[in-house]
Amino acid sequence: MKIFVNLLVFVMILSACGEKKTDQNIGEEIKTITPVSVTNPQKVDLKEDLILNATSTYLLKISVKAPINGYIQNSSIKIGQFVSKGASLFTLKTKEAESLGNTINKLDNSFNFTGISSVKSPVSGFITILNHQTGDYVQDGEILVEIVDKNSFGFLMNVPYENHQLIAKNKNLKISLPDGRILDGVVSQIMPGLDSISQTQKVLVKVNSSINIPENLIANISITKKQSSNISLPKESVLADESQNEFWIMK
């Protein structure tokens, strides 16, 4: 009888310990529950882009030359100034007119001899080089000023030849400037030659904007390689292994 009582007490002690341990395990399991959120798959347009650097440039640079030998009588232009086509750049007066002009006019007013020649801008653009000022003596054919044609401005990018077929499919492009602005561009000209080392082809992209952009500015141009409509999920809902070779989702 005594042995039976002792055995009964021992069983009750084990039962109490087991219940305490179970309660502790349940508490631990509750603490390790991770909150989750539910999301729905959506059908979206996905695309793969090729990002290339492009440099702003003026393809056409015109050198304006002196038409005669003479002195510059008047010039009010300066470097960086915008001039319109037909605007007066210089007023030249020949050396002979400087010494004989008034004498000839006094003898016969019908001659109306002035010896003055006006040099006008052949294009609308910006002055980049100014070689002479008022009072300088210049010779016939000497370069007076250099003007970049505004209509020849664009972004020049080097496209790898293996991607040249993408240009035919992407005539309208997006140009991303360093300051965050995004401009609309259109493929204007494809150069016929290739760079022998890099095997790239130069492509000129014109900007559909009236803003003034400095030359030699480096921007990014996006060219679409692939585009399709597929089912998409938020990136946070996709799980992966350590090597990111296998992916899965929870449902």
pLDDT of residue 29: 55
Confidence of residue 96 (pLDDT cuts 50, 70, 90): confident
Residue 148: pLDDT over 90: yes
Residues whose CB falls within 8 Å of the CB of residue 161, separated by 6 or more in sequence, listed in order: 194, 199, 200, 201
Confidence of residue 157 (pLDDT cuts 50, 70, 90): very high
pLDDT of residue 158: 94
Q: Report d(CA 69, CA 140) in Å as an integer.
A: 5
Domains parsed from the chain with CATH numbers: 47-58+152-227 (2.40.30.170), 61-149 (2.40.50.100)
Chain CA centroid to CA 65, Å: 34
User: Of the given ranges (18-32, 167-181, 190-204), which has the lowest mean pLDDT?
Assistant: 18-32
Return the higher-pLDDT residue of 113 and 52. 52
Return the higher-pLDDT residue of 64 and 99. 64
Longest dimension (CA), the chain: 161
Mean pLDDT of 95-114: 61
Confidence of residue 237 (pLDDT cuts 50, 70, 90): confident
Residue 184: pLDDT over 90: yes
Confidence of residue 5 (pLDDT cuts 50, 70, 90): very low
pLDDT of residue 210: 78
**DSSP result, 137-176:** EE-TT-EEEEEEEGGGEEEEEEEEGGGTHHHHH--EEEEE
Sequence length of the chain is: 251
Q: Report d(CA 121, CA 147) in Å as an integer.
A: 8
**Are 126 and 153 in contact, with CB atoms under 8 Å apart?**
no
- Percent of the chain at pLDDT > 70 equals 79
pLDDT of residue 179: 92
Q: Report d(CA 194, CA 159) in Å as an integer.
A: 10
- Percent of the chain at pLDDT > 90 equals 46
102: part of which helix (H) or strand (E)?
Answer: helix 95-107
